[in-house]
Structure 1
């Protein structure tokens, strides 16, 4: 299912297609990606884990009927996904229970960074979410992840400093974007 699109990109569900599963594994098995996602917890070590991951994402967000989830970013001319964009409730101090705070995030394959894909996909998803009446959306970034901080800034997000409100209280640089008036 397509979630959003731009002239260059389609944001869509990850599927069980071999190309999608290979790309999920290629992204989420890489230390250079996973070090920014919970310090590497959840790094895939077997290609078969890609099926489980895609199904877990689908099951976790199925009740939201496409409003929230983790989706593939696919350039119209690439023929394959370059990464993920996510929109979901941030987990609270226990690291599990969803809060009322909504998070935007992005995970790109290293070969696809530096092309504006994360910013463009996130903008399309943010516009869609703000149209539902959501007042503000957060991005949280691990210290040192300058490329992700740059995406947040390009989106017009305001840096709030280091916060420990979410993901079990770990220190994260937080950014917020208010719905345009």
Structure 2
């Protein structure tokens, strides 16, 4: 089931059948270099389970990002995150190393922002490690602007935001 469609991509819900691809994505040290550590296969299954709960509870989550031929590109979507004690809707994305730098994350993020606006969400943020320049460029190309710095889980993060 496609949730969102873009020029080169479609976003669809994660299923347990995606464990192999998600495990490879979230276990890749390059993809996860701005996280405390890559995720194990068990943690990747928890990631899928968390997103399935998000779909049921919020009507959104991180979705599988694939091209129109069904090739796995990564994940992108919306989740609820807490920043400075406030629940915020965040757009997030992870792209397979071989597909990075091709504009897929930006294209998917823009579709997620359209989905958010159509769903009545008035504000979306992106939480980005200060060293993650590529992710900052994606956020900016999608229309978000640096709003502030925040500390989350003991780590300084940049908060990009957009009002829809």
- TM-score scaled by structure 1? 0.81
Moved over 2 A (4+): 48-53, 91-94, 167-170
CA RMSD of aligned residues (A): 2.0
Q: 1:34 aligns with which of 32, 35, 60?
A: 32
Gap runs ≥5 in structure 1 = none
Query: Which whole-Å deviations, capped at 9, do the CAs of 1:52-73 have from their partners, x for residues lacking one?
Result: 4322321344222xx3211111
1:5-154 matched pairs, under 5 angstroms: 5-17=5-17, 20-37=18-35, 39-40=36-37, 43-44=39-40, 46=41, 50-64=44-58, 67-77=59-69, 79-92=70-83, 99-154=86-141
Answer 1 or 2: higher relative contact order, Cα 8 Å, separation at least 6: 1
- Alpha-carbon distance, 1:132 to partner: 2.1
Q: Distance between the aligned counterparts of 1:145 and 1:177, measured in 2? A: 19
Higher strand content, 1 or 2 = 2
Change (3 A) 1:61 1:110: same
- Alpha-carbon distance, 1:14 to partner: 1.5
Gap runs ≥5 in structure 2 = none
Q: 1:163 aligns with which of 144, 150, 157?
A: 150
Count of equivalent residues: 164
